[in-house]
Amino acid sequence: MKIVVVGSVALDSIKTPFGDQKEILGGSATHFSLAASFFTKVGLVAVVGKDFPEKHISFLKDRGVDLAGLQVVDGETFRWEGYYEYDLNTAHTLDTKLNVFESFDPSLPADYRQAPFLFLANVDPDIQIKVLEQARQDAFSVCDTMNFWIERKPDSLKELVKRVNFCLMNDSEAREFCGTFSLLDSARQILDMGPEAVIFKKGEHGALLFMDQSHFAAPAFPLEEIKDPTGAGDSFAGGFLGYLANAGDVTEEHIRRAVIYGSVMASFNVEGFGTDRVARLTADEIEERFQVFRQITNF
């Protein structure tokens, strides 16, 4: 087991200007592990209800995702319903039913505790901290979050950020978290809290990596059509950490490439609803798109 991801597995109902799908496979841990599964072995920690369709379990197993950490409990699976306008940058929530996710109490199976890489997807920062305490102390840990926790649990979030290796955020979340419009200032503040690096995800504008003495700007892939942005951030994280875990080397050279692999996986994710596009992806397609990123940034 190279990576453990802790997050949500959900059934999403999504409407965009390009279509409408009900109760499809979603959730942060799902999108992350699918993307990462193209690079390395991932163990998934999440909770679903007894109503969770068996076909989704089979699908994840077929992709090589280890599900020993997936709790199946009495009750209904987490459901999210939302829509996007033509500006696909912002998700509008219509309904959130946390269901069994409300009392999610992650417990890492014994062999998961030895995994060298850990992704703490967007959940309550207090839970993220509890997971961090179960993992091996030298695990390379990356956290994500969302505005909900920035507003409701800023102190817990700061405590978490202090303790992880890398921090991922949307640019708007970083600005809110740090109380400044400047991303450079936000990056400084976050790096001062402890992490070695912070990555700002900017959707259609790409991603920015900030380290103590270094900065890297990755563009977004110029996409023909964006069908559904749900899960783009987690697919980014999956490509990013999947590549790094497989390389087994967290030097800056690899970190930069990992940002590009993250961007590649996010770009595929948004080409279909839910997991549709990534489910039919091939290693060759990933490599080809990585090379296109080289072409579009070369001068």
Residues that bind its own copies (CB under 8 A): 86-88, 181-184, 202, 204-206, 208, 215-220, 222-225, 253, 256-257, 259-260, 293-299
Residues 45/59, Cβ–Cβ less than 8 Å? no
Choose among 47, 43, 24, 18: nearest CA to 33: 43
Shortest distance in whole angstroms from residue 19 CB to its own copies: 16
User: HSE (CB half, 13 Å, CA atoms) of 202?
Assistant: 16
What's the closest the beta carbon of residue 259 comes to its own copies, in angstroms?
Answer: 7
**Crossing angle for the helix pair 232-247 and 252-269, nearest 10 degrees?**
140
Residue among 124 and 171 whose Cβ is closer to its own copies: 171
Is the CB of 136 or the CB of 215 nearer to its own copies?
Answer: 215
Residue pointed to by tokens 């649990």: 153
The number of helix segments (H) and strand segments (E) in the chain equals 11, 13
Closest approach of its own copies to the CB of residue 187, in Å: 8
Q: In whole angstroms, how close is the CB of 290 to its own copies at the nearest point?
A: 10
Q: Is 32 exposed, middle or buried (0-12, 13-18, 19+ CB in 10 A)?
A: buried
Choice between 10 and 208, CB closer to its own copies: 208
Bridge partner residues of 140 (DSSP): 117
- Between 49 and 195, CB nearer to its own copies: 195
The distance of closest approach from Cβ of residue 39 to its own copies in the complex, given in angstroms and rounded to an integer, is: 16
Q: Provide, rounded to whole angstroms, the least separation between the CB of residue 181 and its own copies.
A: 5
Instruction: Identify the helix (H) or strand (E) that includes residue 21.
Output: strand 19-26
- Which one, of 140, 126, 27, lies nearest residue 80 by Cα? 27
Closer residue to its own copies, CB minimum distance, 27 or 239: 239
Q: Which residues does residue 49 pair with via DSSP β-bridges, in sequence order?
A: 73
Q: In terms of CB distance, is 220 or 237 closer to its own copies? A: 220
